[in-house]
């Protein structure tokens, strides 16, 4: 087993881009990742996408001149990009391939008019339970138990939109107040419009290869991937918490990390404000019932003790499902290299990415990947 590093990353811009097809989005991400890695050749490609048409991976790559090598497409809802990353890492670590590309792509603005339509083959989908409603249930539960306040929920949105002011690739950015967030249009009580991620198009890519010791490489210190167990309500936690907690434990063990407090910068799956709060608690970054307070008091803001989502997160950078996880990886790589500009976390050495795949399917989440990355 060889140590594996990220040698290069790249992304497109994120936002509603109906004039950009998958090829154009992928070209922006892959060309930047190849230039960053100093290569134009890989031995295999893992492609993460959720709503891409059948066979889109090889077709997109053909247009980029990447042919004649294995192309594996994976779909695990919102975690598709980081599952592609995890599988690419395993392929290099095991020696199966020498250099691998992980690519995430999604074009959603032409596929949906508004929110994603619930999946009718799932019992929850058949009943009309869309993702905003599912997360709203978690928020309502936290409010009922006194584990968060409305102002603390809104504080996550205020923080992440402010972070995105320093991210030129982000879909949305802005200086909002808690009052403005709470006054925005109600989507699924208690979650308002500014507490929900937007519909986005985009692509992100990473080149993985054995570590050589170069100062630009970012080592993959540990990565873990799990799918959810039956959601039987035996847990006292809200949906998704236990899957994130267990996946994080696997990743920490793989990384030899004893204290999550040692992590300097974090990118988590904040599709909705309550998602960041639950996830920071499940990761052990915040104590139970303290995730909202951490956002409201600046602990997880830039300049705080443990910044979360300096990119703006899904709420502000955008959430093109298949590309999201690799966009998170790219952000952490830039942070650990000191290339994040106005959103740079000072002297960041350890970074973490968490991506949670939604879609209920009578499971405690579709999939989750947690990755720990380290500066040499």
Q: Residues with catalytic annotation?
A: 78, 319
For residue 1, count other CB atoms closer than 10 A to its CB. 8
> Alpha carbon of 65 to those of 30, 68, 148, 172: distances in Å?
11, 10, 50, 32
User: Of 258, 323, 282, nearest to 107 (Cα)?
Assistant: 323
Q: Are 60 and 106 in contact (CB under 8 A)?
A: no
- DSSP structure class, residue 164: G
Paired tokens of 217:
């490489």
User: Of 215, 209, 222, nearest to 250 (Cα)?
Assistant: 222
Q: What is the spatial distance between Cα 314 and Cα 331, in angstroms, rounded to a whole number?
A: 12
Provide the edge-to-edge strand list for the sheet that holds 265-267: 71-74, 44-48, 100-107, 201-210, 4-11, 218-226, 367-374, 350-357, 265-267
> Alpha carbon of 145 to those of 141, 236, 250: distances in Å?
6, 11, 29
Strand intervals (E) in the chain: 4-11, 44-48, 71-74, 100-107, 186-188, 191-192, 201-210, 218-226, 265-267, 350-357, 367-374
Q: What is the spatial distance between Cα 238 and Cα 100, in angstroms, rounded to a whole number?
A: 36
Q: Residue-wise over 85-98: b if at least 16 C-beta within 10 A, else e?
A: bbbbbbbbbeeebe
CB neighbour class for 232 (10 Å; exposed up to 12, middle 13-18, buried from 19): exposed
For residue 341, count other CB atoms closer than 10 A to its CB. 10
Q: Are 40 and 228 in contact (CB under 8 A)?
A: no
């Amino acid at each position: 087993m060889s140590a594996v590093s990220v040698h290069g990353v790249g992304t497109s811009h994120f936002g509603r881009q109906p004039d950009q097809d998958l090829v154009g989005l992928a070209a922006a991400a892959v060309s930047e990742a190849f230039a960053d890695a100093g290569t134009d050749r890989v031995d295999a490609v893992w492609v993460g996408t959720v709503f891409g048409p059948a066979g889109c991976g090889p077709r997109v790559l053909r247009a980029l001149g990447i042919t004649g090598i294995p192309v594996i497409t994976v779909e695990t809802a919102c975690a598709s990009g980081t599952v592609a990353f995890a599988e690419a890492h395993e392929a290099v670590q095991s020696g199966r391939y020498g250099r691998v590309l992980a690519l995430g792509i999604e074009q959603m603005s032409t596929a949906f008019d508004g929110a994603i339509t619930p999946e009718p083959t799932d019992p929850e989908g058949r009943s009309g339970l869309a993702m905003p409603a599912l997360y709203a249930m978690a928020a309502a539960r936290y409010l009922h138990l006194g584990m968060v306040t409305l102002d603390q929920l809104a504080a996550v949105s205020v923080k992440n939109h402010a972070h995105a002011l320093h991210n030129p690739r982000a879909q949305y950015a802005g200086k909002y107040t808690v009052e403005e967030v709470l006054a925005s249009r109600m989507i699924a009580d208690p979650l308002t419009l500014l507490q929900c991620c937007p519909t986005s198009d985009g692509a992100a890519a990473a080149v993985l290869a054995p570590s050589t010791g170069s100062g630009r490489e970012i080592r993959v210190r540990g990565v873990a991937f799990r799918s959810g167990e039956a959601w039987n309500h035996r847990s006292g936690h809200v949906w998704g918490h236990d899957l994130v907690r267990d996946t994080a434990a696997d990743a920490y063990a793989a990384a030899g990390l004893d204290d999550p407090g040692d992590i300097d910068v974090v990118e988590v799956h904040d599709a909705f404000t309550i998602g960041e709060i639950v996830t920071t608690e499940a990761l052990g970054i915040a104590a139970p019932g303290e995730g909202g307070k951490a956002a409201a008091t600046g602990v997880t803001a830039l300049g705080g003790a443990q910044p979360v989502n300096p990119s703006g997160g899904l709420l502000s950078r955008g959430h093109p499902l298949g590309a999201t996880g690799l966009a998170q990886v790219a952000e952490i790589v830039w942070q650990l290299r000191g290339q994040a500009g106005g959103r740079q976390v000072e002297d960041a050495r350890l970074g973490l990415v968490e991506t949670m795949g939604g879609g209920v399917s009578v499971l405690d989440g579709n999939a989750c990947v947690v990755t720990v990355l380290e500066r040499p």
